[in-house]
């Protein structure tokens, strides 16, 4: 589905909130509501057959790409330097994340690279066996 893109868009709204904090109307209230929205979205990822990797990956890539390309109002030279520092860090991180995700996507067993990652999308209980993975050999 489009949940990765939706989480990427949510991440860009976080970038907008933090980059323009002093221009926002009631920024703390917005931060609380956006945090609740993010937590609900991640909680939905624990439903069987809904993948939190897409949610978290879309959010992380949205943060990195949003940091790089989102226009920011810089009133001081210090603020502008901080923004450019984050942009310079975000570009290689986005490239590395993309390469690692593509590499893991095309391996025969993606859980081999990260044994604990399966618990990002399921809560292990005695009533389910969803944490064992969905790899078909």
Q: How far apart are CA 15 and CA 11, in angstroms?
A: 6
Q: Are 72 and 20 in contact (CB under 8 A)?
A: yes
Q: How far apart are CA 66 and CA 8, in angstroms?
A: 8
Q: How many CB atoms lie within 10 A of CB 15?
A: 21
Tens digit of each residue's pLDDT, the chain (137 residues): 788 899 999 999 999 999 888 889 999 999 999 999 999 999 888 887 777 888 888 999 999 999 999 898 888 899 899 989 999 999 999 999 889 888 877 876 666 767 777 777 777 777 666 566 555 44
For 129, phi then psi, to 5°, come to: -125, 30
What predicted TM-score, i.e. pTM, was given to this entire model? 0.81
């Amino acid at each position: 589905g489009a949940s990765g893109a939706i989480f990427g868009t949510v991440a860009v709204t976080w970038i907008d909130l933090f980059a323009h904090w002093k221009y926002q109307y009631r920024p703390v209230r917005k931060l609380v509501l956006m945090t609740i929205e993010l937590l609900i979205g991640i909680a939905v990822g624990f439903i069987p057959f809904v993948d939190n990797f897409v949610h978290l990956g879309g959010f992380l890539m949205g943060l990195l790409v949003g940091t790089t390309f989102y226009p920011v109002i810089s009133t001081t030279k210090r603020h502008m330097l901080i923004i450019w520092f984050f942009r310079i860090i975000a570009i290689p991180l986005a490239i590395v994340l993309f390469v690692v995700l593509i590499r893991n996507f095309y391996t025969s067993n993606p859980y081999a690279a990260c044994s604990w990652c399966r618990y990002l999308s399921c809560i292990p209980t005695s009533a389910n066996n969803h944490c064992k993975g969905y790899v078909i050999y």
